[in-house]
Structure formats: C-alpha cells, structure tokens
Amino acid sequence: MSNNHNASHGSTDDTLILIGVLCVGIPLLVFGGWKIGKVAIITITRNVYGLIELPFYYLQLFIQKITGSNAGYLDFTTNAITKLCYPDPNHAMNPLMHCTANLKVVPFSFYSENCIFPTILIGALLVGWIWYKHAINLKYLPDTRYVQEHDLESLIGELGSYQPHLRYIQRFIQSNYATDKGFYRLLLSPREFIKIHNLVYGFRKYEIENAEDFDDFKGSNSPKDDAYPLLDQSKFEKLMMHQLGQMLDKPSNLSDGEIILYALFLPMACATDERMSDKEFKKIKAQKDMLLHYFWDKAIEHLTSEKAFINPKNYEPREFKYFERKRLQKIVERYWNHPVAKEVFSKHAYVRTALIALIYKTRTLGVLAPCELRWLRNYDRTLWALVQNVGRPSVYVEQLAAFSHYTSEAYYHRRKISPDFSYGWNGLLESLKQYRYADPHVYLPAPPKANEITVN
C-alpha cells in the first residue's frame, strides 16, 4: 500500500518538475538566443519575410505612383521590408539588397510587431495544407473509409475481398433457404431426428423409476411430460452404422470428405510432437493456412460453376469434384506413419473416431474453429456435424455414432472393433424425455392405406 502511495507521489513530483523546466527553460532559451544571435535572427527573418511581402510592396509603390497618395492602408503588409530593412530610397525597386536599418538596436517588441503579416500568411498556408491532407486521409485511410452505414448484404460485399467465407456467403445466402427442412436445414434436434428417420414405434407413460428421476422431476421448471417415445433399436443401430463409417485401414480407403479432413488435422496433430524441428512445425502451420484458403477457393469454384449444386430438395451428400484428392492424399500419406499418428490409430478402430482424436489433439495447439470449414456443411452434413461436435458438452445427433464409439474407446483406452452405440442410445433416450409431445401421433409411422393391407 505504502509502495503504491510512494510511486504515485514520485510521479506527481516528476510532472511538476517537468512543468517547471518548461516554464522557465523555454523563456530562458528564447531570451538567450535573442541576446546572442539577434542580428542573425533578424537578418534571416527579414529576408524570408521580405520575399513574402515583395508583391505587396510593389503593389503599394504602384498605387503611390498612380494616385499620388502614400497607400498607408498597405503598410501592415510591408513592415518587414519598410521597417526591418528600411531600404535606401534610391534603390526602391530592389529593397532587400539595400537595407539601411541598424539591427543591433532593434528591440524584440519592434521585431515581433513587424513580423505579424508574413506569420499570418504562413500559418494560413499550413492550416490549408493540413486540411487538404486530412481530407485525403478521410478518403483513403481504411479506418475512415469504412465508417459508413451498412446493412448485412452491403457489409458482406465490402469485406468479401478480404474474407473467403464472405465471398462464399455472397454466392450462397442461407436466409434464402428454409432452415427447418431441406438439405440446408439446421442440424437436427433429437426430436427432429427421430421423426425424420421414423424411429418411434410407440409412447410410454413417464414413471419415476429411481431417486435421480425424482430429483429431475422435482427440480425442473417445466416438468417432464406424461409420455416419452419408444425407439426401434434395430433401426437406430442401422443409422448409427452409416454414421460411424468404415474401419481405419490406409489413406487410399478414405472417402473424399475424410481425406480432406485428414489432410488438415493429421499434420497438425503430428505437430504436437515435442521432438519435431521448428522448421517442420512452421511448415505444417503454413500448410494449414494454405489448405484452409484452398478449401474455400475450391468450394467457391464449385458453387459458381454448377447451378445444380444448390438444391435444397437433394438430401444426398455432394461430391467433392473440385478438390484434388491426389494432392491431399500425398499430405496424409506423408504423416500416416508418424509416431503421433500411430499412437492415435492404435487406440481407435474407425476412420471417424480416429479423426475425432486428431481434432482434439490439434486443438491443443490453438483453436481451429469449425467456422473455418463451414463450406463442408453444403457437402456432407454428417462430417460437418462431426467437426461441430468436437469440444461440445452435448453432441448433434447427425453424428452421434462416432462420438458414442469414440467415448467407449477413450474409456477403455484401446481400439474397439465391435461398434458401441450404448452411450449414444442412452443419451438420446434421456434427451427425448426432456421434451413435451403434445401431438404424439406425428412421430408414429403413418398407418398403411386400405389397398396396402393384406389378409393372410
């Protein structure tokens, strides 16, 4: 406390000393300079200011000659010549070369009074120049050029040349498409997921089965509904097998979407190796930035080249036509047998569970946000959901399988060939109990039509 007080007190003293030095030092400097170099100061000032006043001096002589008057109203504009120089009358046309004033006896007050007009002119020119430069800055400096009102569309257009994702958004405006249906809908909630995939075969009355259920029921602001859906587990497992994908084998077996993500995340995960050289580490970081820009460029190229690419009614994943698979596969093959990669692959049996582990490892070097890969959403929703899920406390059901199996492998610290969807199954059932089902029939399969009923 006392140290802070002393520091504050010392800072105040320094400020007062500086003010005192300026108040005393500047006048002493001016006074000393005037006493020592008065003649030189007046001579230089008289010549410079005299050149500025010459047009007014000649104008005054011209008026005197024509009118016969002394044109005294122009005296203010010629004082540096007529009083500080006091030219010889016989050489009136060349006054500055024939000065007769005795500069040694000129007092400071007389000197300053007769320098006012040129000083005003110089000051006016400086102010004009500063204003001119300020106007240029307002026009060309980015900080001021962008100070203008924007709506969302004009702002995207303004910044699109600098940000690749904005160039993409310029050509694909999400608000033009429905967010509750079609391929470009938002990622599904658990309730939407079971409805779309017809997983519900009935409803069961909600009952408090244990103390945990009782605590949830008692503490909830919106009590659980009277009924919750029953799911067809065999249908659920078929969906999960599709989400989980293939087992991990070699780079050539990866799908086009998977090879893109492995090319980005596998080298970055390997960069966590402390034994890696600084040169290789920097190379991987630069390659990551290059790939992110490359992905956006190819996604924009695809978007602008194929009109049929934007089709909300087509629910199938899009092909990665414009991405150079061979180039990306070479990157993956280069790091496939790296010690860090081998360690990850030894603990995960499937391509997508290993990918989750690689993304987690990559993020120990810094955040690689999902928005950097937002273009992926328009190609493969399952892979996009996988990237989105990493690091979330709860996961999107459109990629529930890989995270369920990954959780099991992480728990047992080993590869598991047999798919384990128990975590996903239990989590989905529990989350479904948090909803109300005002119209349960909309979740049930439609009854068969009369002409579809067969009699045995």
Q: Which of 135, 163, 197 is the last residue of a domain?
A: 135
CB hemisphere CA count around 430 (13 angstroms): 11
Query: What is the full DSSP assignment across 210-253?
Result: SHHHHHHHHH-SSPPPSEEEEE-HHHHHHHHHHHH-PBP--GGG
Let me know whether 245 and 298 are in one domain: yes
Let me know whether 159 and 266 are in one domain: no
H-helix segments, 220-362: 233-244, 256-270, 278-305, 325-335, 339-345, 351-362
**Cβ count within 10 A of residue 216:** 16
Question: DSSP 3-state assignment of 54?
Answer: helix
Q: 99-108 — which CB contacts under 8 Å span 24+ positions?
A: 99/46, 103/38, 103/39, 103/42, 103/43, 104/38, 104/39, 106/38, 106/42, 108/34
Q: Are 408 and 422 in contact (CB under 8 A)?
A: yes
**pTM for the whole structure:** 0.65
Q: Is residue 428 included in any domain, yes or no? A: yes
Query: How many folded domains does the chain comprise?
Result: 3
pLDDT for 456: 34
Q: Are 229 and 443 in contact (CB under 8 A)?
A: yes
Q: Residue 211: CB partners within 8 Å, gap ≥ 6? A: none
| Each residue's pLDDT expressed in tens, for the chain with a length of 456 residues | 445 545 555 567 788 888 888 888 888 887 778 888 888 888 898 899 889 989 998 888 888 888 888 888 888 888 888 888 888 888 888 888 888 888 888 888 888 888 899 999 999 999 999 999 888 877 776 665 556 777 777 777 778 777 888 888 888 877 788 888 888 888 999 999 999 999 999 988 876 555 555 555 544 444 445 788 999 999 999 999 999 999 999 999 999 999 999 999 999 999 999 999 999 999 999 999 999 999 999 999 999 998 888 888 888 889 999 999 999 999 999 999 999 999 999 999 999 999 999 999 999 988 788 889 999 999 999 999 999 999 888 899 999 999 999 999 999 999 999 999 999 999 999 999 888 888 877 778 765 554 443 433
Let me know whether 54 and 173 are in one domain: no
DSSP letter at 203 equals: E
DSSP letter at 73 equals: G
Of 183, 279, 240, 285, the residue nearest 418 (C-alpha): 240
CA 64, CA 72: separation in Å to the nearest integer?
A: 9
CA 350, CA 337: separation in Å to the nearest integer?
A: 16
**Cβ count within 10 A of residue 39:** 12
Let me know whether 127 and 166 are in one domain: no
Let me know whether 173 and 248 are in one domain: no
For residue 185, report the phi and psi dihedrals to the nearest 5 degrees: -65, 165
Q: Is residue 126 included in any domain, yes or no? A: yes
pLDDT for 18: 84
Question: DSSP 3-state assignment of 205?
Answer: strand
Let me know whether 158 and 124 are in one domain: no
CA 389, CA 395: separation in Å to the nearest integer?
A: 5
Domain enclosing residue 317, as ranges: 238-442
Q: Is residue 223 included in any domain, yes or no? A: no
Q: Is residue 142 included in any domain, yes or no? A: no
Let me know whether 245 and 131 are in one domain: no
Q: Residue 298: CB partners within 8 Å, gap ≥ 6? A: 322, 323
198: its two tokens: 């017809």
Q: With DSSP H G I counted as helix, E B as strand and the rest as coil, what are the percentages for the chain, rounded to 5?
A: 65, 5, 30
Let me know whether 169 and 305 are in one domain: no
416: its two tokens: 């598991």
CA 14, CA 36: separation in Å to the nearest integer?
A: 31
Q: Is residue 18 included in any domain, yes or no? A: yes
Residue with tokens 């479904």: 432
Q: Is residue 211 included in any domain, yes or no? A: no
Let me know whether 258 and 393 are in one domain: yes
Of 313, 392, 375, the residue nearest 384 (C-alpha): 375
**How far does Cα 442 stand from its chain's mean position?**
43
- Helix (H) or strand (E) segment spanning residue 143: helix 142-145
Let me know whether 129 and 153 are in one domain: no
Let me know whether 403 and 290 are in one domain: yes
Let me know whether 104 and 171 are in one domain: no
Q: Is residue 21 included in any domain, yes or no? A: yes
Q: Is residue 206 included in any domain, yes or no? A: no
351: its two tokens: 């391509």
Q: Regarding beta strands 200-205 and 227-231, do their DSSP bridges make them parallel or antiparallel, or are they unpaired?
A: antiparallel
Phi-psi category of residue 339: left, alpha or beta, with phi > 0 → left and psi -120 to 50 → alpha:
alpha
